[in-house]
Amino acid sequence: MTERMTKTVLPLKEQLIKKQPLVHCITNPISINDCANGLLAVGARPIMAEHPAEVAGITASAKALMINLGNITDVRMSSMLIAGTQAHQDEIPCLIDLVGVTCSELRMNYAIRFVNNCHPYVIKGNFSEILAFCGRSSHAAGIDAGEEDQLCENNLEDRIRLFHDLAVRTDAVILITGRTDMIVSREGVLLCDNGTPVLSRLTGTGCMLGALTAAFLTVGTPAEASAYAVCLMGIAGEQAAALSHGMGSFHTELINRLDLLTDHEVCSLAKLIFLPQ
């Protein structure tokens, strides 16, 4: 059986507020506004820009790049590769969110090309998306993960092996979201049990998490940034669910909690477990 230790998350929000890094996002129009406001809430500065003729310069002026495949178009596909290439050349940390690779061969082939060419620091998706990216069958419905694909005791060892192979092959940290979030790097595995099922009912919470993780890449390693971001989003979701009545006020409270939660609260409420490699 895998050895388990409780892990403390590093306090990164104070550092982000001091640094106010510019984060370039090329993302879908469904959740673009939430990604921008989520970034502002945690102290980063968003720039959402996608014209192929301007993205290289904008990425070069930013401190991190977030790429999200949720609503690709010819223009966004072109800009994402230009921006990703610039980020790789300038060693600007980059995250790719594999939204919908389960339901579109076009996205899957594009995602493979992006990862091979641009070497993102973090590859993110829900359990169905990351299983599909590893060549496994999945139970996704469109962009949503299938319940059968969630992490459980019975599939933990297999998932660790599968995602660790992907992390080694791509030299990236793999961030997988769901009921339990999983962060897999060469060094080991982190499991985060913060969160609420309400987060999965509000569209774009995964996209926001991708944007936040990209911001935290400017103040922590890919594994530290991913761990802080999943704990923060999970705790913000738990508190927002307790404070709200229905999805509309949950949405508002989620942004409020991302703004108001302190490093001290995030560190003391984080439910993080480390499984060494």
Q: What is the largest CA-CA distance in the chain?
A: 52
What gap in Å lies between CA 265 and CA 95, rounded to an integer?
A: 26
Nearest approach in angstroms of CB 89 to ligand ATP is: 28
Token readout for 121 is 């620091």
Buried b (16+ CB within 10 A) or exposed e, 22-32: bbbbbbbebbb
207 touches ligand Cc1ncsc1CCO by CB under 6 A: yes
Binding residues for ATP: 124, 177
Which residue lies nearer to ligand Cc1ncsc1CCO by CB, 188 or 204? 204
200 touches ligand Cc1ncsc1CCO by CB under 6 A: no
Q: Which of 117, 126, 92, 90 is nearest to 210 (CA)?
A: 126
Which residue lies nearer to ligand Cc1ncsc1CCO by CB, 101 or 270? 101
143 touches ligand Cc1ncsc1CCO by CB under 6 A: yes
User: Binding segment for ligand ATP among 57-65, 72-80, 195-203, 243-251 (CB under 6 A)?
Assistant: 195-203
User: Binding segment for ligand ATP among 108-116, 189-197, 256-264, 268-276 (CB under 6 A)?
Assistant: 189-197
70 touches ligand Cc1ncsc1CCO by CB under 6 A: yes
Binding residues for substrate: 48, 204
Token readout for 223 is 């594994």
Q: E strands within the chain?
A: 5-6, 22-26, 45-48, 64-68, 94-97, 122-126, 173-177, 181-185, 188-192, 272-276
Token readout for 116 is 């091979």
Single out the residue of 15, 37, 45, 71 in contact with ligand Cc1ncsc1CCO (rule: CB under 6 A).
71
Which residue lies nearer to ligand Cc1ncsc1CCO by CB, 70 or 188? 70
| x/- map, 145-184, ligand ATP, by CB under 6 A | x-------------------------------xxx-x---
For 184, the enclosing helix (H) or strand (E) is strand 181-185
How many residues of this chain bind ligand ATP (CB under 6 A)? 23
Single out the residue of 25, 99, 190, 219 in contact with ligand ATP (rule: CB under 6 A).
99
What gap in Å lies between CA 12 and CA 28, rounded to an integer?
A: 27
195 touches ligand ATP by CB under 6 A: yes
Taking phi over 0 as left and psi of -120 to 50 as alpha, with beta for the rest, 171 belongs to left
The sign one gets for the Cα dihedral 196, 198, 203, 208 is: negative
Asked if 82 and 52 touch (Cβ cutoff 8 Å), the reply is: yes
222 touches ligand ATP by CB under 6 A: no
200 touches ligand ATP by CB under 6 A: yes
What gap in Å lies between CA 114 and CA 82, rounded to an integer?
A: 10
Task: Give residues in contact with ligand ATP (CB under 6 A).
Answer: 99, 126, 143-145, 177-179, 181, 195-197, 199-200, 203-207, 209, 230, 233-234
